[in-house]
Amino acid sequence: MNNLRQPESGFSWFYKRFLNNHITILLLNIFLFLLVINEIVQNAGLLDPLWKFIGIAMPAIVVAGILFYVLDPFVHFMERHWHMRQGVAIATAMVLTAAVIVLIFLNLIPFLARQTAGAIGALPQFANDMLRNINHLNQEHHWLSTKNLADINERVTTYFSKRGLNLLTGTLSSLGNVVTTVSDWIITIITAPLVLFFMLKDGSRFPKFVSQVVPTAYRDRFIVMLDQMNVKVSSYVRGQLTVALCVMIIFTTGYSIIGLRYALLIGLLAGPLNLIPYFGSAIALVPALIIGVVTSPSMLLGVVIVYLIEWVLETQVLSPLIMGNSLAMHPITIVFVLLAAGKMFGLVGVIFGVPGFAVLKVLATTGFTWYQEFSSLYPDVLPPDEFEP
């Protein structure tokens, strides 16, 4: 009789089934985390000083971070092959970068400003050319009635005239905004080189320094996670900048060969736009198509041919060769990330959404792997040797 199983009490049954249950603990932790997030959102006003500080410091950090990924390989190359000391190599890289930026601003920016002003001033002429082509096609095919054609002529002329005036006045008003925000630019220009210098100098020691706040048993894994994030972001930034430069050269050369007006302006615009994955080159094609339409059918055909050549080179040669699959992300995932980030953060989200998602993916993967190893819900996953007693 003593071997008979005693019935469990109500509390013992509740404790075993719910309180001492891994799933219950996980759900409770998630609930507490969401509760903390909700409290932070409800009291967002208390974080205003922090957001202001981030808004002031973030532009300098972003600029310095991009330049860091560009210059870091060059600095290491000078240290290894030219036997320069680290400080001398960093100073040389920064001086050369500053010289290139100054030359670009002194020579390229005024030319682009003249080209832009000329393009804005030519909008009414573009409208007249477009209307002339539409009238010519309508005389041959009789697609539109005389009344509809007159209405289209009036609408197009009014739109382009107002659009050119709005662009000019908007440019003048934006100059006033630039004057009011010149202090922020000065802060960025002064702060970014300082941040860049210390990134290049102490960047390799940053993971170990940050890991000091992590419990000793998890430091090795934390450092590995930071290294993975760094590899993802560095590969993406360097690859995207290289591809964007190649695309800019291809478009500028192609449009110049076919004699497209404002070829250099459109080609240089295509480079930064190509930083937007999948959609950048298509967006850059729009002004070229408009100019091709108002110029001649042969010019329109030339624009299409240049775009097709660029598309083949970018998708079949440049991106696979330079980028590869460094982010290990499905194209559909990238598209949804771009849509969501663009909706939440605008152009900044579109440009930085993909590398940001890659960092979050590494963080989530590391956290889930750790949870698999140390919970009893995945018995087939064993902890690594470094965590064994």
Tens-digit pLDDT profile for residues 160-171: 555 554 554 544
Rounded CA-CA distance 135/156 in Å is 13
Each residue of 293-345: pLDDT tens digit?
778 888 889 999 999 999 988 888 887 777 666 666 777 888 888 888 888 88
Determine the pLDDT at residue 72.
92
- pLDDT of 132 over the 80 cut: no
- Side-chain-side CA neighbours of residue 317 (13 Å): 9
Q: Is the pLDDT at 379 greater than 80, yes or no?
A: no
Q: What is the pLDDT of residues 275-293, one digit of tens each?
A: 887 778 888 888 888 888 7
The pLDDT of residue 172: 45
The two three-digit tokens of residue 362, written as one number: 């590494």
Name, in order, each residue with C-beta under 8 angstroms of 310's C-beta and a sequence gap of 6 or more. Answer: 247, 250, 251, 254, 281
Are 149 and 132 in contact, with CB atoms under 8 Å apart? no
Check whether 143 has a pLDDT greater than 70.
no
Looking at residue 171, its pLDDT comes to 47
State the pLDDT confidence band at 190, using cuts at 50, 70 and 90. Answer: confident
Which residue pairs, CB below 8 angstroms and at least 24 apart, start in 267-274?
A: 268/108, 268/112, 271/244, 271/245, 271/247, 272/244, 274/240, 274/243, 274/244, 274/247, 274/248, 274/314
Question: What percentage of residues in the chain have a pLDDT greater than 90?
Answer: 14
Token pair, residue 359, equals: 């960092």
Residue range 81-110: average pLDDT? 88
Task: Determine the pLDDT at residue 4.
Answer: 47
3-state SS, residue 252 = helix
pLDDT at residue number 36: 85
Can you tell me the distance from the alpha carbon of 91 to that of 230, in angstroms, rounded to the nearest whole number?
23
Range in 32-46, 60-74, 193-207, 266-280 the model is least confident about: 32-46
Residue 235 near residue 326, CB atoms below 8 Å: yes
When mean pLDDT is compared across 21-35, 62-76, 117-131, the lowest value belongs to 117-131
Helices in the chain by DSSP H: which ranges?
10-14, 22-42, 48-81, 86-103, 109-121, 123-141, 146-180, 182-202, 206-210, 219-258, 263-273, 280-295, 297-313, 331-374
Residue 17 C-alpha from the chain's centroid:
47
Supply the pLDDT for residue 178. Answer: 46
Average pLDDT over residues 168-194: 63
Give the residue-averaged pLDDT of 27-53: 79
184 CB-near residues (< 8 Å, 6+ apart): 56, 59
The pLDDT score that the predictor gives to residue 95 is: 93
CA–CA distance, 116 with 125 (Å, rounded to integer)? 15
Helix ranges (DSSP H) in 104-218: 109-121, 123-141, 146-180, 182-202, 206-210
Q: Is the pLDDT of residue 97 over 60?
A: yes
pLDDT of 254 above 90: yes
